[in-house]
Structure 1
Amino acid sequence: MDPEFIHVDPRTLLRVEQSGQPAVVYRCKLQGVPCGLHVEGTASAVSAHLRGHGIIGPDNISTTCMWGNCSKTLKRGSMTRHILTHLGVKVRCPVCGAVKSRYDTFRAHIKFSEPCHLASAEMVDGPEGRVLVPTAWFATN
């Protein structure tokens, strides 16, 4: 099978190449002038990507989500978390198997569930994610 070529946020590409570990990336669907990039489905990568689009300012100001056809009004500080729900990224508890749509709800789960108290989150990739592998992987396969 031939590899699919996609445009990836340069920060994500650098991290994947330096770490030697794959990452799951998602096409940016912000309305307006499309950037055509794929961004990693992590809070830090999505937040940096939003800043690159000029979505900045105090966390408590109201803003409108412009991802795909969404037009939900929310606080700027909630935008990254909201976009991750658009990507379909979820968190699974490895102890009981509970799947949460956001990391903050996973933290609440382990806080109030005694058997899961020491659990670490397992990321569940969204359905439109593409696996980005380091170029070194192609040399060995």
Structure 2
Amino acid sequence: MSPRDAIIIDVETSTAVKARYSAADAIVYRCAWNNEHSQACGIFIGGTHKNILSHLRRCHGVGFSTREDINCLWGSCLRAEHLKIGSIPRHVATHLGIRSKCSGCGRVMSREDAVQDHIKKSPGCVGAIVEMVPGPEARLIVSAHR
């Protein structure tokens, strides 16, 4: 794709900088967290748990206390009960359709921690790493330094 063919999207600054100055491509997702007017945010964010939580804290006022409970405001989420702050990135990753894969055997699971546990307990997967499997709405930002 040439620069003339590029599609302009609103990407969170930290993710855009990574794609601009790194040799790594970035996978992003449109944030669907609703604001006080029940409108989705729309900014594209990285799909890692760190990126998700950082964006929710910075742009949506999600608290910093791990004891604090919040409701999920992602799109039309049906999970209305309170979630712990530490669980929100994992929960949002399910909305995004992000899955995790064992690099040793290729087994795909819905949660990163489940794949880590699998790697620890599976003799054939010793030394394997957890790979992210992008969700269906993922967009790829190609690094300028490829």
Q: TM-score scaled by structure 1? A: 0.88
Unpaired runs of 5+ residues, structure 1, are none
- Residue 55 of structure 1 deviates from its aligned partner by 0.4
Report what 2:124 is aligned to: 115
2:107 paired residue number: 98
Q: Distance in 2 between matches of 1:129 and 1:121?
A: 18
1:133 aligns with 2:142: yes
1:58 maps to 65
What is the one-letter code of the residue matched to 1:134?
A: S
Q: How many residues align?
A: 137
What is the aligned counterpart of 1:45 among 46, 51, 66? Answer: 51
Give me the whole-angstrom Cα distance separating, in 2, the residues matched to 1:94 and 1:21. 19
SS in 2 for 1:123: strand
Letter of the structure 2 residue corresponding to residue 59 of structure 1 = T
Residue 136 of structure 1 and its aligned partner are, at CA, apart by 5.3
- From 78, 88, 93, give the equivalent of 1:79: 88
Calculate percent identity across the aligned residue pairs: 40
RMSD: 1.6
Partner of 1:6: 9
Distance 1:9 1:86 in 2: 19
Structure 1 pair 54/97, CA: closer, same or farther in 2 (3 Å)?
Answer: same
* Rounded Cα–Cα distance in structure 1 between residues aligned with 2:48 and 2:66: 18
Which stretches of structure 1, 4 residues or longer, exceed 6 Å deviation after superposition?
none
Letter in 2 for 1:79: I
Unaligned runs of 5+ in 2: none
The match for 2:22 is 19
Deviations 1:30-80 (CA, angstroms, capped at 9, x unpaired): 012543310011111111101111101321322111111114222121001
Does the Cα contact within 8 Å between 1:64 and 1:71 map onto a contact in 2?
A: no
